[in-house]
Structure 1
Amino acid sequence: MMSTKENLSKETKRTEAPPPGEAEQAAEAASPAERPETEQATKETTARAEVPLTPQQIEELKGKAAKADEHWDRLLRATADLENFKKRAARERQEATRFANVSLLEKLIPALDNFDMALAAANNTEGNSLESLKTGITMVYNQLKAALAEAGLEEIDASGRPFDPNLHEAVSQQETADVPEGQVLRQLRKGYKLRDRLIRPASVVVAKKPAV
């Protein structure tokens, strides 16, 4: 026979353990206020998503989609135009570099023609060929000077001027009492500038006081 304590313990267990399915039924019977807030928010979101769009709203969405497609097409075209412009500009820069001296060469070609004529005259035994050669060379020289001057080339005239180390190159010094010391006594080779930039200094002989 079981003791009184054992009977009481069994009765207590039967009382505390709920029947199968009772917990689930209790949860379902709970009020909405007792359920998690996330469940309520999910239902509200689903309800809003299930609201059908009006024809006007559908048309508005279609219009916005069409505008977005149009803007995208414009962006693609603008990008393509920019790339084409870059390529064209690169080609033009390359062409400009390759043919930068075309204008100058066009002005020098007539000088070459006159050289040809002067040489032909020098080979001609009839008449005064020396005078013809001199005339031809003078013509070529003047044409070359004019073409180079038009391109911005300037001669540096150093004769009789004070020595300037920025423009002149002293090849030697010569004692003399005829000109002041430090003055260019004689120019051996012309100097040239391209506008304000020195291309070649003039080679000169500089005057020096005679030794006492």
Structure 2
Amino acid sequence: MEHEEKMTDVQDADTNLRDETAEAAPEVANHDRVAALEAQLAEAKAAVLYAQAETQNVRRRAEKEAQDARAYAATGFARDVLSVADNITRALAAIPQALREDEKLKGLVTGLEATGREVDSVFGRHGISKIVAVGEALDPNRHQAMMEIPTADAEPGTVVQEIQTGYMIRDRLLRPALVGVAKKPD
């Protein structure tokens, strides 16, 4: 009988455990569902944050590209006008002093000088500036060395002659200065 009582006790304990497990199962299932929903919510929040960051990056990139387009829109036109500025400078340099003082040509010289100043003024309004070359160290980002000039008057690598003026448009190179660079005498 004792054996039967023990068996009954084990069966009762097993039944009680099953009842407790059955009662706890909905709680465990609810906990698992809540954990799964919380994980999905965390994933959704991360996806939203990523999408917001990507949208902000695209917006910034578009604003920068639009700003660059406005700032450098005149680049092609400016390159074309540089030859006009070069020709005016050459024309003024070619006029000998005796002709500059001739009353018949004074108006022509004054007109060429005024045109040169106006071209410089227009360049300035559009962010186009001349590159300083003579006396500076050769900068391959701004100068293009065309020849080496033997001289003891300047350090090797220093620009001693400007063949053609270089220009920048804001912070970008429009045209490099064509220069002669000092080298040690033979």
TM range (shorter): 0.3 to 0.5
Which structure carries more relative contact order (alpha carbon 8 Å, separation 6+)? 2
